[in-house]
């Protein structure tokens, strides 16, 4: 049985076009046509060399994945797509819509209207095993190909114009590094043309990948799932932290910031009695004192019977935020929650077929609203 590749699998299609002597400049035109014509046949695309039609028919599909299920939140702000892959596995991707005028820039409301952020998955499952994250309960199933990552954007862009992208869905993006880099290069080129400054990659702290991240993907935003200010707490709630000691991680982030000159976004999930006390806020402030960062505090949502943690009270979150802001002058936000009625935000996603539901999670503050 022939296994077809996604036409959005950029390295493969370029290699095949080169081998067949077909000009690779036709590839973006093919991508644009497929985006605009979901059910197209290869012969429908006008003005390609005859060799291109033959090659496309023998080795490629317009999309190897399909939207299996779509859920809209009652306020129509969040849309969750359950996407079935060619191998039968499924991933989720989530569209979050924001009103630009609700954000602030230099203390004033932003101009512009609605914009959409897409939360993308990079793996089926995850091997990091963070104890507060539902995706970890799936274990690691497989990496997504470049095409499967890009196809999430293809499917979503047919429902809403996507301006921002966050890799905060299922999986650890930097553990699927090559496919991630190639997918982002497709997303930032024609016909998608997403600005690199509007793409954020989240990681638990894969040090060797952070060390080359800026060289491979300049001008992107890096978000680090820190979740604890000291190594021992981090190891308790994030087993993978043992392989990426906090001291070495901070050294890598310092080098990244020196090279890139960019702010680093710090994600910090608030777990009652674990990492949310005043002493933890001071430890976090001192740890990040020499960095240019924005800290995003994430109210934890218990995942039914899966959860061994409780949610920090609003008063604790407020005190924590005030310490970081007032004592250490670190910009700190509290993550807005969206799409809970459809269990549909980026982060702790878990596929639970056949009823097509996923764990309740909190959504992120939009990247444009975190900019100073």
Catalytic residue among 92, 182, 267, 368: 92
Asked if 159 and 35 touch (Cβ cutoff 8 Å), the reply is no
Say how many residues make up the chain. 372
Catalytic status, residue 172: no
> What whole-number distance in Å separates Cα of residue 144 and Cα of residue 83?
12
Burial class (CB in 10 A: 0-12, 13-18, 19+), 5: middle
In the numeric block, which tokens belong to residue 274? Answer: 């674990």
- Residue that is written with structure tokens 């999309």 in the block: 63
Asked if 137 and 128 touch (Cβ cutoff 8 Å), the reply is no
Q: Which DSSP letter does residue 88 get?
A: S
In the numeric block, which tokens belong to residue 24? Answer: 């690779």
Catalytic status, residue 41: no
Catalytic residue among 63, 119, 133, 346: 346
- Tell me the Ramachandran region of residue 28: left when phi exceeds 0, alpha when psi lies from -120 to 50, beta otherwise: alpha
> What whole-number distance in Å separates Cα of residue 352 and Cα of residue 349?
10
- Tell me the Ramachandran region of residue 139: left when phi exceeds 0, alpha when psi lies from -120 to 50, beta otherwise: left
212: phi then psi, degrees, rounded to nearest 5? -115, 0
> What whole-number distance in Å separates Cα of residue 210 and Cα of residue 203?
9
Task: Report, as residue numbers or ranges, the catalytic residues.
Answer: 92, 346
């Amino acid at each position: 049985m022939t296994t077809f590749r996604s036409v959005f699998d950029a390295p493969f299609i370029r290699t095949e076009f080169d081998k067949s002597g077909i000009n690779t400049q036709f590839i973006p035109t093919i991508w644009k046509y497929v985006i605009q014509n979901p059910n197209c046949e290869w012969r429908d695309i006008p003005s390609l060399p005859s060799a291109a039609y033959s090659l496309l028919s023998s080795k490629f599909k317009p999309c190897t994945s399909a939207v299996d299920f779509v859920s809209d939140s009652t306020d129509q702000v969040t849309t969750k797509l359950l996407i079935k892959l060619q191998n039968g596995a499924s991933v989720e991707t989530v569209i979050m819509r924001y009103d630009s005028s609700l954000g602030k820039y230099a203390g004033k409301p932003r101009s512009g209207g609605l914009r959409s952020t897409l939360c993308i998955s990079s793996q089926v499952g995850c091997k990091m095993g963070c104890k507060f994250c539902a995706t970890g309960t799936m274990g690691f199933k497989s990496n997504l190909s470049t095409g499967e990552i890009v196809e999430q954007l293809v499917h979503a862009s047919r429902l809403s114009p996507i301006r921002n992208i966050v890799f905060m869905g299922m999986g650890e993006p930097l553990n699927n590094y090559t496919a991630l880099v190639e997918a982002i290069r497709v997303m930032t080129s024609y016909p998608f043309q997403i600005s690199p400054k509007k793409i954020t990659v989240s990681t638990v702290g894969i040090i060797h990948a952070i060390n080359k991240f800026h060289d491979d993907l300049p001008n992107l935003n890096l978000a680090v799932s820190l979740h604890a200010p000291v190594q021992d707490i981090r190891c308790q709630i994030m087993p993978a932290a043992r392989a990426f000691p906090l001291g070495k991680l901070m050294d890598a982030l310092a080098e990244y910031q020196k090279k890139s000159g960019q702010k680093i976004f710090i994600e910090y999930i608030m777990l009652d009695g674990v990492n949310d006390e005043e002493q933890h806020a001071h430890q976090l402030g001192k740890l990040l004192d020499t960095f240019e960062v924005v800290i995003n505090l994430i109210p934890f949502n218990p995942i039914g019977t899966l959860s061994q943690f409780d949610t920090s009270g609003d008063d604790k979150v407020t005190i924590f935020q005030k310490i970081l802001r007032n004592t250490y002058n670190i910009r700190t936000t509290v993550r807005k929650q969206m799409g809970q009625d459809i269990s549909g935000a980026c982060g702790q996603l878990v596929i639970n077929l056949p009823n097509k539901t996923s764990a309740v999670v909190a959504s992120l503050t939009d990247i444009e609203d975190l900019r100073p």
